[in-house]
Structure 1
Amino acid sequence: MNVYLQNYMLQVPNILDLAQKRPVMLEALDILHEKERQTPGAVQYSIKRYSRIPQWNAEDMGMMVYHYKKNEPAACYLELRFCVSGNVYCRGKEQECLNCRNGLTKVCSEKEDTIDVMNFTFLPEHLLQFVKSPRSFSFTNDVLCFKHPSSFTKILPLCSRVRVILESLLSNTYTESFENIYINAQTQMLLLYSLECMLGDKEEETFSCKFLANESDRDKILKAREVLLEHIGEPITIKDLSRKVAINECYLKKGFKEIFGTTIFDFYQSQRMEHAKYLLYEKGLSVTEVSLMLGYSSISHFSTAFKKHTGLKPCELLLR
């Protein structure tokens, strides 16, 4: 694996400079759209869509940046950076441009070719939830636990799965709470696929569960994930979930674990707690309100689950 090791004072080049193969003056670019989130303990991200200059020929690329500082765990973090060109953005999107709404994008006067720059920052407290055994030794485990002793930057190939996730993040039409739930789930998959790309895993998928060779059955597992996200505030049993997607409970549990690398319960709890952070910190809701919105029978049950996932009591997040 071709990883460039540096000391902890890592100087990371601007990914847009690398994609364009020359320095780019960001202040001179016309920014079409941007969004960001800085919730403590959650994935922090920024998405910026720039109007593409016609003579530009930027390459699509990704980058993983591992920031490590010995004896300062709070200063460690992992970044995913991406630059994607060739997409289209409608300036009238917020007002539902009539032509785009009617599928007439070819004649839309508001349409702009874009270069999209995305940055996702994963903090130690967020990454540790994905580590089942901190004592196991592997490069991926060392990175997630911040045991790898040197900072590094790694250029990532954009495989088809990463491209699909990036496109979904750019084009989703969700707003407010639904957008937060959706982005939480997609960024976890983005991290998984990026780690696989970094390790050079083959893009072709092979499954130990034989039934997953059937595309229809794989689609049912993907649909189950969507149903779980739709029920963040109203807990759903595995029995009901299997009925909704028309698949055997045993196949559902095994298939979900193989495709997403986690159990249905752990995935569901993770998404609920990530959304709870957003509701508490970004929306300013009370612990009582969030507990009710997420379907908990008592505040104490919610507080216990939140602390188990984040290491903090809900009220402690509000003080940050």
Structure 2
Amino acid sequence: MDLNQNYFLSQELLTAQEQQIPGSLNYKLMRYRLINTDPVQEKGSIHYHYDKSENAAHKFELKFCVTGNRYCIVPDCSNCRISAYQGCSGETDTIDIFHFNFSPGFLATFVQQHNSDRKNRVLSFLHTESFCEELPVCGRKKKLLNALQETSYCSALQNVTFNSIVQELFLCSCEALDDSKPAMFSCKFLADQSGIEKMYLAREILLQHIDSLISIKELSRKVAINECYLKKGFKEVFGLTIYDFYLQQKMEHAKFLLCEEGMTVTDVAALLGYSSISHFSTAFKRQTGLKPCDLLK
């Protein structure tokens, strides 16, 4: 079934969640009660729009349709939050539509310099033809999308988790743009599932230390892998060096604290471990293309 706009006019919108993260992405989740009994195919797609006349009109979007979720229909419980239906006795088939619109600043983080393959041309908007490409909703993407349903952008702790899930979903989806995707990781130790699990553990530890950079030496000790393997494996699994990943997540968290929590630049700089406001402002501008004061409410 082709899920177009007219199809959803016949479905009941249960709830909607939308978040605009300056300099990163616009995120929207629409949940519908499935009224039509026709089978719905889970699917995803990449939408790339190139406008030669106006750079600001360039777009890189991901869209996903996921089914089989449940929504509470217990009387007096229809206004619960997106993730608050587990455990309720009422069950209804639903369709969740995810929409991600990534900013050029976010995409630029993942562009490999001196690499002109299709993926890098698209992420840097050097690919001059618009296209729409279907993405299969594999088990990995389904797991990440389900995790987003249980996570919000409303608290400092969940914000860090939200950003890391979105980044992994983005990288997983961009594999479809690779000209010649290798059949497996080039690092031999990643052929063993335990090696991959150590990379995810390293990422989790980095997120837990978002306000104080942990050294590579200490991180390698915590995940029981030597520093060389850790650095190579992390870059291959997550597409960024350990430091670049840490800095990106730190600045995404800074956006949340400035934009959503209304903290001052001084307080955010201190909370994230910067010795001065100027050091923080310089790092923030270099990473995001924005000044911290631009996000103050």
Calculate the TM-score normalised by the size of structure 1.
0.82
* SS of 1:130 mapped into structure 2: coil
Q: 2:22 aligns with which of 22, 40, 52?
A: 40
Alpha-carbon distance in 2 for matches of 1:160, 1:271? 25
The 1-side partners of 2:169 and 2:148 are apart by: 10
Q: Following TM superposition, by how much is the alpha carbon of 1:175 offset from its aligned partner in structure 2, in angstroms?
A: 4.7
Note the C-alpha offset of 1:35: 1.7
Q: How many residues align?
A: 292
Higher RCO by CA contacts (8 Å cutoff, separation 6 or greater): 1
Given that residues 206 and 214 in structure 2 are in contact (C-alpha distance below 8 angstroms), is that contact kept between their aligned partners in structure 1?
Answer: yes
Superposed counterparts of 1:66-81, under 5 Å: 66-81=48-63
Distance 1:230 1:266, change over 3 A: same
Which residue of 189, 200, 210 maps to 2:168? 189
Pair 1:316-2:256 in alignment = no
Q: Distance in 2 between matches of 1:112 and 1:235?
A: 45
Offset at residue 306 of structure 1 (A):
0.5
The letter of the residue matching 2:229 is: Y
- Compute the TM-score of the two structures, normalised by the length of structure 2: 0.88
Q: Give runs of aligned pairs for residues 281-296 of structure 1, distance below 5 A.
A: 281-296=259-274
Match for residue 131 of structure 1? Answer: 111
Partner residue, 1:165: 144
CA distance in 2, matches of 1:138, 1:160: 27
Map 1:1-320 to 2 at 5 A: 18-19=2-3, 23-26=6-9, 29-53=11-35, 55-90=37-72, 94=81, 100=86, 105=87, 108-133=88-113, 135-172=114-151, 175-199=154-178, 206-318=184-296
More displaced stretch, 279-288 vs 204-213: 204-213
Q: Is the 8 A contact 2:118 2:177 kept in 1?
A: no
Equivalent-residue separation in structure 2 for 1:241 and 1:250 (angstroms): 12
Q: 1:41 to 1:30 in 2, by over 3 A?
A: same
Measure the CA separation in 2 of the matches of 1:198 and 1:53. 35
Shifted more, 292-301 versus 219-228: the winner is: 292-301
User: What letter corresponds to residue 108 of structure 2 in structure 1?
Assistant: L
1:268 positional shift? 0.4
CA distance in 1, matches of 2:65, 2:209: 33
Tell me the percent identity.
48
Please give the alpha-carbon distance, in whole angstroms, between the structure 2 residues aligned to 1:158 and 1:79. Answer: 16
- Structure 2 gaps of 5+ residues are none
> Alignment RMSD, CA only?
2.7
Q: Distance in 1 between matches of 2:249 and 2:82?
A: 30
- Whether the 8 Å CA contact 1:74–1:124 is kept in 2: the answer is no
Helix, strand or coil at the partner of 1:241? helix
What letter matches 1:46 in structure 2? K
1:87 alignment partner, SS class: strand
| CA contact 1:43–1:184 (8 Å) conserved in 2 | no
- 8 Å contact 1:77–1:121 — kept in the other structure? yes
SS in 2 for 1:111: coil
